[in-house]
């Protein structure tokens, strides 16, 4: 955001409480997030940014920045106290590819190195950067804001017309201005536990049943699903693996009561196959326990201030939506600056930002309700993958109007049908929900989803796009051109 503001001629102070490089999570990209990186790069002449949108160009351009290969999403349903084994029809696993090759694959971002790189780009663009700074007070007058605080060796003072808050959920402006928290309707009480490890074994090395799979399940956002929550395993190319749990309800309460080390041990004891995967792993920093994950502000704009989406709200790492929401917010604010910074135009930014957060929360709340039922959970995921693949393809074809709102929440047919499916999750029998979802996604299903013959393994296949080109109002020639532009091997 600082770089874009500088490119548009604004004077920018970038104020950091900590110091880069620093540990943080939020690491997994997706096709739509990568498309937004390309869009921002092209619109604002950020040539250094575009290579970060694909695994292949990232490795060729920035091999020194830690990165993980993400070919898609893999899900494995675990049963408490029982080892995982693949079933005949693969009912307890789901692999959904996001790319056909490593070269154009998505990525996991090793945030200490990645964020340091971005901070240096902001400085190179002319942002006035100050770190290790605690802002003690902010006051507003007719000319804008005055911020004052402390940093090593002295004081900090700054005046600004606008404050853009990128400090995360329950962050700087939430505390300074006493902003109201609104929450999400029907979302479970959740908590998180995570850190980085070395020595995590590859899942397919323990379960050699993936020779014909559309991608190696470890070269993905790997999810272990359990009654009461789930675990992520994200592998970087520097020997580090990000791993953690997001837990709901009673499991979240246990986590808060037990503390991080006791909770981690108990969870491993109950998941023998996961424990085997982590049998030789060593944490490289202490476990982080986040007692409350979900957050949503009531308002994310006000007189002279704006919150970026991840300061306005956070839901859950499931489905890797965080980067998309952040980049959509940055895209909107860039266009707002281009349009002259009219305060009245920020109402649309707020409506879209909070609407995207609410739609994401509705999806993930439904997933939590059925997380211990493989058939029902996989049905809910089809809503996400159908919306994401259609939205990305529509944008790449130059028709973003076909995909209104994140998760197509504004789509005339899919939007209401998807919301009805989410209400059914956990209330209707799994088979009934699966049939309802298959009917709901039909208008936007361009990826061959909900196909029982694939038995839970979904490749990224050009044939599916050609077969469903009419749903996008596209000709075969337009689909061919779009695929060639993205590097898709035809």
CATH number, position 233: 3.30.9.100
For 30, half-sphere exposure in the C-beta direction (CA atoms, 13 angstrom radius) is 24
Is 135 a domain residue? no
Same domain, 210 and 77: yes
Of 269, 290, 311, which one is at a domain's C-terminal end? 290
Nearest C-alpha neighbor of 102 from the set 54, 64, 61: 54
Same domain, 283 and 387: no
Please, are residues 490 and 480 in contact by the beta-carbon 8 Å criterion?
yes
What's residue 171's pLDDT?
A: 96
Summarised one tens digit per residue, pLDDT across range 207-262 is 999 999 999 999 999 999 999 999 999 999 999 999 999 999 999 999 999 999 99
Of 290, 306, 337, which one is at a domain's C-terminal end? 290
Is 276 a domain residue? yes
For 349, half-sphere exposure in the C-beta direction (CA atoms, 13 angstrom radius) is 30
What's residue 319's pLDDT?
A: 96
Same domain, 101 and 243: yes
Same domain, 378 and 473: yes
Same domain, 94 and 238: yes
What average pLDDT is seen over the chain?
97
What's residue 312's pLDDT?
A: 98
Is 202 a domain residue? yes
Same domain, 284 and 400: no
Q: What is the percentage of the chain residues whose pLDDT exceeds 70?
A: 100
Please, are residues 404 and 360 in contact by the beta-carbon 8 Å criterion?
no
Please, are residues 382 and 449 in contact by the beta-carbon 8 Å criterion?
yes
Same domain, 257 and 386: no
Q: How many CB atoms lie within 10 A of CB 461?
A: 15
Is 483 a domain residue? yes
What's residue 136's pLDDT?
A: 94
Stretch 32-43: mean pLDDT: 98
Q: Report the Cα–Cα distance between both ends of the chain, in Å, rounded.
A: 36
Is 240 a domain residue? yes
Summarised one tens digit per residue, pLDDT across range 108-156 is 999 999 999 999 999 999 999 999 999 999 999 999 999 999 999 999 9
Stretch 313-331: mean pLDDT: 97
Is 471 a domain residue? yes
Locate 467 and state its tokens: 């077969």
Summarised one tens digit per residue, pLDDT across range 157-194 is 999 999 999 999 999 999 999 999 999 999 999 999 99
Q: What is the percentage of the chain residues whose pLDDT exceeds 90?
A: 99
Distance CA 413, CA 427 (A): 22
Is 456 a domain residue? yes
Whether omega for the bond prior to residue 90 falls within 30 degrees of 0, making it cis, is: no
Summarised one tens digit per residue, pLDDT across range 373-413 is 999 999 999 999 999 999 999 999 999 999 999 999 999 99
- Per the listing, tokens 């060639």 go with 484
For 181, residues 6+ apart whose C-beta sits below 8 A from its C-beta are 170, 174, 295, 296, 297, 298
Same domain, 265 and 395: no
Same domain, 275 and 387: no
Q: Determine how β-strand 144-151 pairs with β-strand 154-160.
A: antiparallel
Q: Is the pLDDT of residue 489 over 90?
A: no
Distance CA 5, CA 334 (A): 7
pTM above 0.95, yes or no: yes
DSSP H helices, 49-92, are 55-61
Stretch 448-456: mean pLDDT: 97
What is the domain extent for residue 404?
373-490
Same domain, 81 and 197: yes
Is 163 a domain residue? no
Q: How many structural domains does the chain have?
A: 2
Summarised one tens digit per residue, pLDDT across range 66-103 is 999 999 999 999 999 999 999 989 999 999 999 999 99
How distant, in Å, are the alpha carbons of 69, 97, 137, 471 from that of 100?
13, 7, 51, 22
Of 290, 322, 346, which one is at a domain's C-terminal end? 290
Same domain, 386 and 484: yes
Distance CA 482, CA 343 (A): 37
Q: How many CB atoms lie within 10 A of CB 420?
A: 12
pLDDT band at 490 (very low <50, low <70, confident <90, very high): confident
Same domain, 267 and 390: no
């Amino acid at each position: 955001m600082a770089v874009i503001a500088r490119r548009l001629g604004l004077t920018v102070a970038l104020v950091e409480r900590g110091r880069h490089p620093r540990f943080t999570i939020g690491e997994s990209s997706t096709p739509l997030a990568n498309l937004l990186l390309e869009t921002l790069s092209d619109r604002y002449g950020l040539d250094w940014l575009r290579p970060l949108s694909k695994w292949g160009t990232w490795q060729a351009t920035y091999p020194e920045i830690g990165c993980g290969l993400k070919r898609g999403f893999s899900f494995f349903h675990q049963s408490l106290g029982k080892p995982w084994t693949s079933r005949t029809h693969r009912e307890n696993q789901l692999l959904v590819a996001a790319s056909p090759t490593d070269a154009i694959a998505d990525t996991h971002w090793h945030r200490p190195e990645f964020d340091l790189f971005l901070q240096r780009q902001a400085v190179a663009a002319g942002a006035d950067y100050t770190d290790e700074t605690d802002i003690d007070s902010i006051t507003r007058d007719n000319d804008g804001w005055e911020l004052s605080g402390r940093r090593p060796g002295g004081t900090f003072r700054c005046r600004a017309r606008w404050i853009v808050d990128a400090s995360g959920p329950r962050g700087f402006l939430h505390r300074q201005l006493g902003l109201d928290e609104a929450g999400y309707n029907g979302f479970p009480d959740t908590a998180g536990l995570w850190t980085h490890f070395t020595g995590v074994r590859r899942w397919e090395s323990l379960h050699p049943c993936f020779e014909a799979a559309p991608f190696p399940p470890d070269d993905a956002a790997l999810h272990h699903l359990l009654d009461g929550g789930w675990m992520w395993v994200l592998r970087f190319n520097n020997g580090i693996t990000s791993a953690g749990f997001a837990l709901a309800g009673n499991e979240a309460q246990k986590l808060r009561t037990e503390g991080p080390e006791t909770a981690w041990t108990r969870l491993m004891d109950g998941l023998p196959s996961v424990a085997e995967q982590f049998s030789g792993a060593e944490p490289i920093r202490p476990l982080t326990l986040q007692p409350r994950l979900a957050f949503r502000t009531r308002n994310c704009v006000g007189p002279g201030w704006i919150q970026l989406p991840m300061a306005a709200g956070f839901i859950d790492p499931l489905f890797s939506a965080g980067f998309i929401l952040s980049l959509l917010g940055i895209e909107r604010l860039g266009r707002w600056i281009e349009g002259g910074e009219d305060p009245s135009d920020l109402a649309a930014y707020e409506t879209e930002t909070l609407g995207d957060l609410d739609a994401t929360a509705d999806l993930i709340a439904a997933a939590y309700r059925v997380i211990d039922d493989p058939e029902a959970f996989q049905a809910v995921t089809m809503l996400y993958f159908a919306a994401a693949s259609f939205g990305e393809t529509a944008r790449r074809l130059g028709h973003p109007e076909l995909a209104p709102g994140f998760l197509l929440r504004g789509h005339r047919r899919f939007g209401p049908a998807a919301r009805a499916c989410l209400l059914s999750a956990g209330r209707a029998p799994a088979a009934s929900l699966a049939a309802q979802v298959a009917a709901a996604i039909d208008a936007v299903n361009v990826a061959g989803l909900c196909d029982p013959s694939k038995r839970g393994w979904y490749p990224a296949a050009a044939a599916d796009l050609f077969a469903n080109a009419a749903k996008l109002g596209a000709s075969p020639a337009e689909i061919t051109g779009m695929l060639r532009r993205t590097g898709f091997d035809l």
